[in-house]
Amino acid sequence: MKLFIKLAWRSIWRNRRRSLITISSVLFAVLLAIFFYSMEKGSYERTIDNMVRFSTGYIQIQDVLFEDEPSMDHSMLVDDHINEILETFHEKIDFTVPRITHFVLAASDRNTRGALLMGIDPAAEARMNDISDRITSGSFVTINDRDVVVAEGLAEILRVSVGDTLVLLSQGYQGVSAAGLYHIRGIVNLHIPEMNNSAIYMALPEAQWFFAAEDRLTSLVIMPKNPKHTSQLAADIGSMTDPEWYRVLTYEDMLEDLLALMQFDIAGTMVLLAILYIVIGFGLFGTMLTMLLERKKEFAMMMALGMKRWQLAITCFFEAIIISLAGAFAGILMAIPFVVYFYHYPVKLGGNIADAMAGYGFEPILPLSADPWVFVSQALVILIMSILVGMYPVYSVFRLDMVKARQQ
């Protein structure tokens, strides 16, 4: 085997220009494929991460009716049974985040707007999404505060700032009217445009008092120590809860529409990458075809000197593999610095493109993913493609007519 690889390596570099052109075409194809795939994957990872950290969490326990009919009447009472279940899986659970989430009518002296009121435990919420570090003015609420923090986009819509007063109106538990005047303690800038235009944060005890829902929650967010075990942990917790009263959901259940849209978009990217690799595949095939036409007499001479057809076929096959993988690995090595840099320092968009992305609910940046699969997948694609292309010289060698080849 070592001899066949050595012969293939020498044959490749006998025509340096042709080999370098072929390797370069593969290199740039892999470089572009990695860049586009990493950008696509990075955008979705960032979007999902923002939604998980600022909205749904990885796992939620809810009342069985809340997902279909979100109202305070379908909030849940976190009793000893739920706490015992969570204690059973304490080794897999990092922390929990209690929440009351309900829609309210928020009014200033100038404007009125529907908003999403989130009653939170500030310490747990900060641990989940470092939201207190995103305060642009004022300060964040503490557990005993009666003030609120307003998202930056909503503050602009209502034309309010720190120190102003909001009127909040809603319907509380069992039809109780919920109304109150609340001072704005701080303004926070969220990374999800939809939430940035609607969110109001309030300390959990005050939110429970506002909705007349003492000791009740609309959801209990569970953050696993290892996010890869989210589905299994949710299934284990769900098996121990009463399905007539509680429902255990993962972020995939709660973001089903968003994930379906992402999968559809990924399919479009895969089509573009497939077209790119088809073009490169034909380039490799053309190189192999030219090599065979130029070296027919050489092949006939080698077989006349005693080389077996299968030995010659294996040598030609290794030539295709070496050329393809050399281009692939060179492309990967060139892509790694770019991907790592833009992973840590994503490109920030501006102008109409940024407004359009924000309108669709995406953060206006172009983050890249540093997932190793981004690089491995391209190497695998090139390997499969080179194996397919390498089968043609094998076929041609076994079909070679030695007499005609020596006469050419």
Provide the residue ranges of all domains of the chain, joining segments of one domain with +: 2-51+258-407, 65-242
- As a whole number of angstroms, the distance between CA 406 and CA 408 comes to 6
pLDDT at 280 over 60: yes
Neighbours of 358 (CB within 10 A): 18
- As a whole number of angstroms, the distance between CA 26 and CA 326 comes to 8
- As a whole number of angstroms, the distance between CA 400 and CA 309 comes to 9
- As a whole number of angstroms, the distance between CA 251 and CA 48 comes to 9
Q: pTM surpassing 0.85?
A: no
376, 370 Cβ separation under 8 angstroms: no
pLDDT greater at residue 343 or residue 1: 343
pLDDT greater at residue 67 or residue 38: 38
Mean pLDDT confidence for 234-240: 88
Task: Give me the amino acid identity at 120.
Answer: I
| Short-list 295, 294, 276, CA closest to 385 | 276
Task: Compute CA distances 158 → 94, 111, 201, 384, whole Å.
Answer: 37, 5, 15, 58
- As a whole number of angstroms, the distance between CA 216 and CA 204 comes to 10
Name the CA dihedral angle for 377, 381, 382, 383, rounded to a multiple of 10 degrees: 100
Mean pLDDT confidence for 316-345: 85
221, 251 Cβ separation under 8 angstroms: no
| Short-list 206, 237, 226, 225, CA closest to 83 | 237
pLDDT at 84 over 90: no
